[in-house]
Structure formats: structure tokens, C-alpha cells
Amino acid sequence: MISTLRHQLVSGETTPEAILKKLAGDISARDGQTGAYLSHDLESALNEAANADLSLPLGGIPIAIKDNINVLGQPCTAGSKFLSENYESPYDATVIQKLRAAGAIPFGRTNLDEFAMGSATENSALKLTRNPHDPERIPGGSSGGSAAAVADLTAIAALGSDTGGSIRQPASHCGVVGLKPSYGRVSRFGLIAFASSLDQIGPLTHSVEDAALILQAIAGYDERDSTSLDVPVPDYLTGLNDGVKGLKLGLPKEYFGDGIDPGVRQKVEKAVQALADQGAELVEISLPHTQYAVATYYVIAPAEASSNLSRFDGIRYGHRTASPTDILDLYKKSREEGFGPEVKRRIILGTYVLSSGYYDAYYSQAQKVRTLIRRDFENAFEKVDAILSPVAPSPARKIGALGDDPLQDYLADIFTIAANLAGIPAISVPVGTVDSDGGKNLPVGLQILGPHLGEAKLLQIAKAAEAL
């Protein structure tokens, strides 16, 4: 889609202003049902469009932004009451600066689970987002608003963040492409932190080529992010159409066991076989510590969240309780009123595993298991070029189906979490739809995982899967 629009912009068939006005009209017409957007500032975007440099790679292209990434002068709520009342971003995140430098126009703030904690976008304190393919179902999360906007054709492309599958899982549920880059490949400066050793920003798009174009723009070293890697950024478009002939693709036996929806399994296996028919060699592999991934993640991520969210105290910015009796009362009531139940649950869990007497039993042990999970992938990539798996065990579930049982949503991240623990890149590519649980034509994604900083080969394989 981006390449087509770029051709039309350069040829004069359309203008950035016309594209923005059409998107705004589409949002007005359709987003009332989908609920992908929290806000969109057409006037500011039109001001940028008036000076758009159409010679740049993304010149004149509007990009929707998940509402935990700071954009100068725009709200940045993180889907939370804590930041929804009076916080306006005083700066651009590095990825926003890079998008602007490539000619793109940030347009629209998309909904998310509060502070990116969730897999359904049901945890947003501000509104409910629905899946455009079936409004009775979740779009996935936590980047559900970004995925839904792209799927609903109210966004040309969007940025999301991925801490345990938060780009790939909603991409799979909404039938779009979602890429989580390697840890350190894209700057996290300006992203409201959930779990700093796991978070990564990436694109949700209509095509693999669009994902490559956006990654090309946002990747690279940033001295303001101490985890950013100072390594060259390759040309992600070169070799994109080279296919899979001669490549070795791994099938981890732990990712194709029991518990997968039959329709999902059938679509993923059909895509895998189609890649083999194009000349790829399929290799059975093992990632033996996969069974510990969910437990490891839900020790490490809440621990980091409890530390990162300590800055939200009602003092410097964000929600402040009315008429506190003293400073301790201000802290307690501001946080009690400002945070939703899932955020509180994870803060409490994280504080517990970091507390005296439990640190060694839980957090320290989880870090050791994380090392084992990373070594599983390192050993696998000595044998194969990439790894294939489902993104999620089932299609998008019905809204409210789990009630007050968050554990089932935690377990649904079994196929995506390990990539964040290992810091490797992974992408979700649509491979068809299934009828399941009373729903029809529910999208399914194929997950492709690559070695650290192996995005170029990953995108090449994804392009071949997309073409099939």
C-alpha cells in the first residue's frame, strides 16, 4: 500500500492533504464501531502535510501511533486514567523523529491495554476496541488499536510495541503484518516503559514490503537509549523477493503440540508446506525450555513493570488524588485511583518477586531460565535459517469470554513470549482465515522467527509466505 501511495504522490495523482482527509473521513465513518483510535489531530497533521518532502522514502505517508509512544504536543495516555487527564507529550520519541526524517506524518493515537499490559485491548481504561473482522471479538493486544486500525483501513500503517507478543498477536488476530525487531535494533527512547529488557517498537502494516519500509526508517543506533545497538542497518528491501529456495526452516516440536485450534494448525501447516514446495528445507528442531517461557516472562516482566511504574506517583505529572491528608496518602490514593486492575496485579506480583527473601527464589531463577531459552534459539539457528510456528493457539476469542481469569490470556502468549526473552526478531504474516467458536473468517497468522539482527532474511521469508 505504501509503495502505491508513494507512486501516486510523486506522480501528482494525490496529495498528502487528500490522503489525510480521506483517513479522517474513514475514521469518522467506521471507527465508532471498531474503536481503534483514542484521538487524531487532523489540523496538526495537515500542517505537516503542507511541507511534506515527497522525495523522501515515506514522504507524505501518515502513520498511526500506539498511544504509549510520545509525539510532541499530542496526548500519550498509555491507555490509562493516570495519563489521560492532563498529560501532553513535551517531546518526540526517537522513532517519531526518524519517521519524520523519512517524510512520514504521525497521525492518530491508537488504543492499547493499559501500559501495554494485556493480550486483548480489554484492559484499556479509556475504551473498548473491537476486531474489524468480527466486532464481537477482541483485536488482540496490547497493540490492538494499531492492528485494528490497519485492518479496518483507517490507517495506512501503524507503530506498536511488543513486550511478549503485543505486535504479532493482534496482527494475527486482525489479519495484518506485524514485526517485532531484534532487541536493540530500534530505539526505545520515548516509549513509556513496561518491561525495559523486553519492550521493542515495530510496525503493523498491510504488507511485508510496507513493514520493511518502516523498519528501514526507524532502525538504528540512538545514544539516548543505552540498550540501542551501534551496528550498521542493512537495506531491508534488497533481497526481499529472493524467495526461500535452499533455506532451512525449523519446526519446533514444542510449538506444534496439543492445544492448538484445528483450523489454526491446518492453515499454518499448509503455509509451511507451501514454503517447502518453493524449495525450502523443513527441519524438525527442539526448543526444550519452551515450557518455562510463560512462567519466566510473568516473573521478569512484572518485576520490571513494578520498577518502571514507580515514577507514576501523582507528584510530577499524571493523575493526582484530590485532598490527600499527607504525602503518603497522596502516593497511595493517586496510584489506587489511576491504575486499573491488571496494572495493579502486575505491580503487586513484580514487587513480591523482587522483595527480600524472594528475589533469589523467583527473579534470579527466572533470569537463569531466560538464558537457557536464549541458548535454545542460538543452538537452533546453528542448524536453520529461521523458525516457523503459529502466532497464537487459536483465533481471536469473544470479548469478555474469559471474565476475570487473566491466566488464560497469559497462557495464550506461549508462542510469542520466548522471542522477547531471547531478544530475537519475529514477524506475523496472514495465512488465511478459519471458522472457529461460532465465528467465521477469523484471521490466522504464521510466525517466523530469526536470529538476532536477522531481520533482512526474516522479511525475505515473510515475503515468500505472503506471496503464497
Residues 6+ apart with CB under 8 A from 351: 306
For residue 55, indicate whether it is catalytic. no
DSSP state of 379: H
187 upstream amide cis, omega within 30 of 0: no
| CA–CA gap between residue 440 and residue 438 (Å, rounded) | 7
- Cell 497522596 locates to 330
Residues 6+ apart with CB under 8 A from 45: 20, 62, 105, 106, 107
- Cell 505537516 locates to 48
Q: Burial code of 260-288, b = ≥16 C-beta within 10 A, e = fewer?
A: bbebbbebbbebbebbeeeebeeeebebe
Active-site residue, selected from the candidate residues 124, 166, 182, 394? 166
DSSP state of 234: P
- The DSSP code sequence of 46-112 is HHHHTT--TTSTTTT-EEEEETTB--TTSB--TTSHHHHTT-B-SS--HHHHHHHHTT-EEEEEE--
CB 214 within 8 A of CB 63: yes
Active-site residue, selected from the candidate residues 89, 119, 124, 142? 142
For residue 142, indicate whether it is catalytic. yes
Active-site residue, selected from the candidate residues 66, 98, 333, 463? 66
The pair phi, psi for residue 458, each rounded to 5°, is: -60, -45
Q: What angle do CA 410, 140, 81 make, to 5 degrees?
A: 85
For residue 66, indicate whether it is catalytic. yes
Residues known to be catalytic: 66, 142, 166
